[in-house]
Structure formats: C-alpha cells, structure tokens
Amino acid sequence: MAKKRAFFIPRPGLFFSASSSSSSSSSFSSALAISITGNSPPTMSPPTEISGAARNLSDQVSTSVNLSVSPSAARPSPLSSFDARTARQTSVSRPKLLKPFATKDIKVLLLENVNITGRSMLSEQGYQVEFLKSSLPEDQLIEKIRDVHVIGIRSKTKLTERVLKEAHNLLVIGCFCIGTNQVDLQYAANNGIAVFNSPFSNSRSVAELMIAEIITLARQLGDRSLEMHNGTWNKLSNKCWEVRGKVLGIIGYGHIGSQLSVLAEAMGMTVIYYDVVNLMAMGTARQVPTMQQLLNTADFVTLHVPELPETKNMFSTQQFEQMKDGSYLLNASRGSVVDIPALIHAMRTEKIAGAALDVYPSEPRGNGDYFNKDLAPWASDLRSLKNIILTPHIGGSTEEAQSAIGIEVGQALIRYVNEGTTLGAVNMPEVTLRSLTIDEPNHARVIFIHNNVPGVLRKVNEILGDHNVDKQMTDSRGDVAYLMADVSNVDSENIKDLYDQLEGLSCMCT
C-alpha cells in the first residue's frame, strides 16, 4: 500500500503543514513542495546561509584541534580588491538566502552520537533538533520517527520498510557514514524520501588505518605488545618484514582504495588493484584483469567493496587458496564480504600469516557489549588467533573524519529541506537549479516527485502555465521522477490554489 504525502512550505510567517493518507494503489505517491520567496516578516530572524555555516563550523573545529576537512567544506580564498568592488556593485543580484518556511516547525531526530558539526548546522537553521547518543530498538524508533521531518543516523540504526511506513512526515534521511545498506532505499524513493550519505569524508582515515595495520601485521606488533602487557619479553625477527618492496593488492579502487594506493606507493610498495570497472591508476599503480591474478601476486590484500548480494562471502575458501603462502588479508569494507570460518581455517593452517578485520558479519549494538560466541559462533575462535588485528569498526572514527561527515551530510540535508536540491542523493535523481536572487520577489519553487510515467510533465506545466516558468529541471532514476521549477508572479493569496491543483494531480499520477 503506497503512502500519499504532500507538504506545502510557504514563506516565513505563514504556516507549515504535512499530511499523510493511505491509498490502495500499488505505485508510489507523489510528494510536493512549494516554496515562496519574498521579504520575510519583520518578526522572523534572518536566515543562516548554508555554506557560511559550514565554513564557520569548519574554521572553529579546525582552529581548536587542527583538523583537515573534506573538499565539500573547503574555505574559499579571500576576495581580491577587484572581486570585492564587483561584489558591491552587483549586490542586487546576489543569491537570496532561502529559508522558505517557519523553520521552527521542522523536526529533526539525530541518533548514534552524530558529530557536533552536523548538529550545530541543523540547529542554526532554527530546526527543532533532538539528539540521542545511541541507536534505538525498532519499536522505540517507530514511536520517535512518526512526526519527524528529518532523521540522521549512522550504521546501527535500521530504517526498514516497517519503520518507514510509520514515518508519516519524513522528508529526508541523512546517513552520517559511507554505507546506506541500513536503509530500505527503494521504499524510501517510492515514497518521496531522499537519502544522503557521506561517500568522501572518512576515506583518508580508513586509508591511514590500513597503512597502520599493514605495518603492524608485517612486524607482528600486536602479538609483541600483548606479550609485553603480560610481562613477557620476546625480541625476535623471524617472519617480521619491511613493507618496502612488497606488493599491495587492492580490491575495490574507489575513494579509499585509491588513497591507500598513493600512501602505500610513498612507502615503497608496489601497488596492483582489481575493480569491476576500468579505473585510472594513481601514480604507478597497475590494474589487473582478474581478482585471481591479484591474489596470486600480492603480499598484502585489502578489501574496499560495498555490501551487495554479489559481494556476500566474495572472499571464501577458494580465494584464500589463491593467495600467496604467508600473505596477509585486511578488511575494512563490509563484514559480509569475508567468510569468517574460511578465514579462521586459512590462519590455522598457516596459509596466510595474518589478518586485520575492522568489520564483521555480526556486530554488537553499542559500546560495552561483548564480542563473543553469544554474538556469533566464530567470535571466540577468531579472538584466539595469533597475529590478527581486531578493531571495533573504527575505520572512520577520527575527529577529522567525523567533523567532515557532519558538515557534508548536514549541508546536504539543509539544501534539500530549504531548496529541494538532490545533488548527492543516493536514491533520487540529482536535480538542482540556480539560487533565486533578491531581485526576484514573488517567486515560487515547486518540487514534484512522481512515478516516472508519460504525461505527468504536461499536466504539471498546464497547472503552472498561468504563471511564468522561469526555470525548470526534471530527471528520472528508475521508477522515480523529480521535477523542480521556479515560477514567477505568485503571491501568498493564490499560492494555496496552485498547491491544491498540484496536490490533486499527485493523486492522479500515483
């Protein structure tokens, strides 16, 4: 049963409403937003500019702990005297800072200790932000999500179809991490709920962890440290190696794999990589045609692939047999990628000399929970192995990465809620229009999400035809189509009629 949702977002000082009803149609419903620009009432506080808020937060955090931030949060160079003079002369056409609704009515729920940078950005917009440090059991999550418009999560919270069916007002989901497999993306798209993530911001942190673990495995540092903690002095060099001159095989040459490639090459390693698509190499790295060729050659193998049906247990008994004797495996991608019993067997038979795992098929719900046989039958055997590094999913757990993730996802959420921009959405067509300017009063921005079927665009334009359509962009992704249009000659007196017509069309198009 598809959910019909529409929301009308007029200019500040009017009202905000969101409604939900059920339909027996098997196709998904349209979602509609209309935003009016114009002068805000005197009682409204001035809007906070999105990129400015990100820069301010970035400056504060970077100054306090010397952080590097993601490219999306890069600070612009100061204006030259010529640029400044030009900016003053053309200020009448500068972008209008859109905040086209009473922001105090936007409810945001942030779970799993989302970083302060993201929380602050959303709060500065005037949204109602509720923050919890942990994930919630499904029944509690359902109660919490019923009236929120924005939810921010990390990897532990599962937004299943059952949960999303109860999210009557939900507009957008922010995954403050790389992965989105914890969200039912198709159900969200079919109900007009955009999903954003952070594909770039923690890649450096994960790559650096891989470098640290490669050296730790090569020198057996984990075992030597544990022995010293237990009071045993065990100085040896047997089967301890330099990494210079060794071959690193990278499976999955995306954001993380390519950064790891550069770091490893700087240490004197030879880098080869395998990916399902042809990708340009960084430095002197070389792509190989098959994963078997990589496994036959590499001294260290690292995995950087998404969680997909095709990647479940993609590294099992056959792949371990293809690896060089005495080589090493490192996985910081997804826990389902490696067959853990097969890994345990390869370690016990000394087929491989060591391994490092940061992710697991089953993981505890939170800090302080036990990683033992009650969680998974293989946990105790895994912990008993020599020269194996086990870390609790901390690949992106650095101050720099979490700060950058907060900025990247927070900025995407604000742009979607305030402007309807879907750039970076993982389940929607990517659509944006240039910003409205302060010399464009009485303009409306219309967002219409609908089934990708013939005839909808014509019907929408018939409704908008009484006004001047200044800009329009539409795109589709599978069964979902997304239309954004800016129309002029619209004021608060006739906007409700325009909304009612489009809302009626949404019922016919689903």
Note the pLDDT tens digit of each residue in 215-238. 999 999 999 999 999 999 999 999
Same domain assignment for residues 234 and 262 = yes
Same domain assignment for residues 297 and 153 = no
Token pair 């539409």: residue: 474
| Band (507; pLDDT cuts 50, 70, 90) | low
Phi, psi of 417 (to 5 degrees): -65, -45
- The domain total for the chain is 2
Same domain assignment for residues 373 and 306 = yes
**Rounded to a whole number, what is the distance in angstroms from the first to the last CA of the chain?**
11
For the segment 135-151, the average pLDDT, to the nearest whole number, is: 96
Write the pLDDT tens digit of every residue in 479-492. 999 999 988 877 77
**pLDDT: is 51 or 235 the higher one?**
235
Q: 332, 356, 390 — which closes off a domain?
A: 390
Q: Is the pLDDT reported for residue 50 higher than 70?
A: no
For the segment 192-196, the average pLDDT, to the nearest whole number, is: 97
Write the pLDDT tens digit of every residue in 265-316. 999 999 999 999 999 999 999 999 999 999 999 999 999 999 999 999 999 9
Same domain assignment for residues 228 and 328 = yes
| Encoded tokens for 54 | 């990100």
Same domain assignment for residues 12 and 148 = yes
Identify whether 377 is part of a domain. Answer: yes
Do residues 62 and 69 touch, judged by C-beta distance below 8 A?
Answer: yes
Amino acid (one-letter) located at 417: V
Write the pLDDT tens digit of every residue in 462-480. 888 888 888 999 999 999 9
Same domain assignment for residues 244 and 317 = yes
DSSP 8-state symbol, 91 = G
Same domain assignment for residues 56 and 158 = yes
Identify whether 78 is part of a domain. Answer: yes
Do residues 214 and 328 touch, judged by C-beta distance below 8 A?
Answer: yes
Q: 351, 373, 390 — which closes off a domain?
A: 390
Which residues is 390 bridged to in the sheet?
357
Q: Which residues of 23-33 are buried (b: 16+ CB within 10 A; e: fewer)?
A: eeeeebbbbbb
pLDDT of residue 346: 98
Q: Which domain holds residue 478?
A: 3-38+48-200+399-508
For 138-157, what is the HEC assignment?
HHHHHHHHCCCCEEEECCCC
**pLDDT: is 98 or 161 the higher one?**
161
pLDDT of residue 251: 98
For the segment 188-198, the average pLDDT, to the nearest whole number, is: 96
Task: Specify the CATH number for the domain of residue 184.
Answer: 3.40.50.720
Identify whether 43 is part of a domain. Answer: no
Same domain assignment for residues 168 and 249 = no
Same domain assignment for residues 342 and 453 = no
Cα atoms found within 13 Å of the Cα of residue 186, Cβ hemisphere only = 3
Q: 390, 409, 443 — which closes off a domain?
A: 390
C-alpha to C-alpha distance for 418 and 414, rounded to whole angstroms: 6
Residues with a catalytic annotation lie at 334, 363, 393
Write the pLDDT tens digit of every residue in 77-92. 333 333 333 333 444 4
Q: Is the pLDDT reported for residue 108 higher than 90?
A: yes
For the segment 174-182, the average pLDDT, to the nearest whole number, is: 93
Do residues 284 and 337 touch, judged by C-beta distance below 8 A?
Answer: no
Of 339, 323, 269, 330, nearest in space to 304 by CA: 330
Same domain assignment for residues 450 and 433 = yes
Q: Is the pLDDT reported for residue 324 higher than 50?
A: yes
**pLDDT: is 499 or 288 the higher one?**
288
Identify whether 128 is part of a domain. Answer: yes
| Band (445; pLDDT cuts 50, 70, 90) | confident
Same domain assignment for residues 371 and 420 = no
| Band (363; pLDDT cuts 50, 70, 90) | confident
Of 135, 143, 185, 136, nearest in space to 161 by CA: 185
Same domain assignment for residues 291 and 418 = no
Cα atoms found within 13 Å of the Cα of residue 187, Cβ hemisphere only = 17
Token pair 């059920």: residue: 22
| Encoded tokens for 374 | 């009650």
Identify whether 358 is part of a domain. Answer: yes
C-alpha to C-alpha distance for 385 and 73, rounded to whole angstroms: 42
Do residues 409 and 401 touch, judged by C-beta distance below 8 A?
Answer: no
